[in-house]
Amino acid sequence: MPTSKIEERFMLTTTDDEIFINNFSEDVKIGLASESKYLPFVYFYDHIGSQLFEKICELPEYYPTRTETNILETNVDDIVSRFPKETALIELGSGSSTKTRILIETFLKHQSLAYYSPIDVSRQMLEESSYSLLKAYPNLEINAIAARYNEGIHQLNIQAAQRKLIIWLGSSIGNLGRSEVTTLLRHIQKIMLPNDRFLVGIDLQKDKTIIENAYNDSQGITAEFNLNLLTHVNRELGGNFNIEKFDHKAIYNEKVGRIEMYLISNIDQKVFIRDIELEVCFKANETIHTENSFKYSLDDIDTLAEKTGLYVEQQWFDPERFFSLNLFAPSID
């Protein structure tokens, strides 16, 4: 059990469970009833899915984590030096907050970090990672929010005088379509004051083989992560998916510059999902589209910033230029 001192430094705001289940039910019903079946990627991240993703991040084929970590470790002093006053650190899709520790430790060495506000859909992962951080850093305060990005941003409670550094690591920006990410960044830009900054990890375009190998690892962890989405439906909505009758597939679509991840039915079959009273018929080799991961060019990044009222103040790269860290600032009208 956490000590009372730790509890005094921790606050958790959650989305109503009933609202979450209703959203899940509606999204699954719409996605699986569509002519081209799909499931939203956000539902990967139940507790089991979050743990599997942490394993993915350690895989030798999965370059984004190690390259982004290297960029952070190499440039963290430069990043933190840009924030001479007390700073509120906000993170979208925080997960285990492993890479975030690099920033937190450096902030605490040089200034008083006002607090850390992680936003993630997995309440259990938020609690576990927050208590771990609070034990490690006695001067840290955490206001965690269990919600999707937009909902979490709405629930932020930051004093106007506190400077904000919003971070979005791990190339999660790539999971959103071009219009979706434009909408989200415009929303974030509206809550930023002139001295606030937005630090975003963005995976860059590169050789197709390197990208595809990252999503088709030899240990099968990414396949397990993908298939866990069906287990999530079974557990929460009373589905009867037989996981052994589906396979994982990830391909790089060079035309649009994105990884596309699918679950493929390996036989003709029917699945019933009790709580939403939905029967889903699958033909052999029919797919469920579960995730995109867009890869950006530097021109793409500049265009995105321009469309959303931001500009790229600074960029950092790994030596091979596989990955980028981008510090966005709000444009001054």
Q: Is 147 domain-assigned?
A: yes
**Calpha distance 132→36 (Å, rounded):** 42
Q: Let me know if residue 20 belongs to a domain.
A: no
Same domain, 134 and 162: yes
The residue assigned the tokens 């899940």 is 24
What is the DSSP code (8-state) at residue 307? H
Q: What pLDDT score does 114 carry? A: 64
Do 285 and 169 reside in the same domain of the chain?
Answer: no
Question: Contact, 280 vs 295, CB < 8 A?
Answer: no
Q: What pLDDT sits at residue 8? A: 86
Kindly state the average pLDDT of the residues 261-269.
98
230 & 262 share domain: yes
Q: Do 282 and 244 share a structural domain? A: yes
Confidence of residue 37 (pLDDT cuts 50, 70, 90): very high
Q: How far is CA 156 from the centre of its chain?
A: 18
Q: Does any domain span residue 24?
A: no
pLDDT at 6 over 50: yes
Of 164, 158, 171, the closest CA to residue 99 belongs to 171
Give the tens place of pLDDT for each residue, 283-295: 999 999 999 999 9
Q: Which residue type does 123 have?
A: R
Rounded Cα–Cα distance for residues 315 and 202 (Å): 10
Say which amino acid occupies 332.
I
Assess if residue 23 is contained within a domain.
no
Domain that includes residue 252, residue range: 29-57+212-294
Which CATH number belongs to the domain containing residue 176 in this structure? 3.40.50.150
- CA–CA separation, 296 and 325 (whole Å): 12
Whether residue 88 is found in the same domain as residue 176? yes
Residue 329: strand pairing partners: 311
Do 89 and 182 share a domain, yes or no? yes
Q: Binning pLDDT at 50, 70 and 90, where does residue 158 land?
A: low
Q: Total structural domains in the chain?
A: 2
pLDDT on residue 160: 53
For residues 88-102, average pLDDT: 91
Spatial contact of 165 and 111, defined as CB atoms under 8 Å apart: no
Give percent of the chain with pLDDT exceeding 70.
Answer: 94
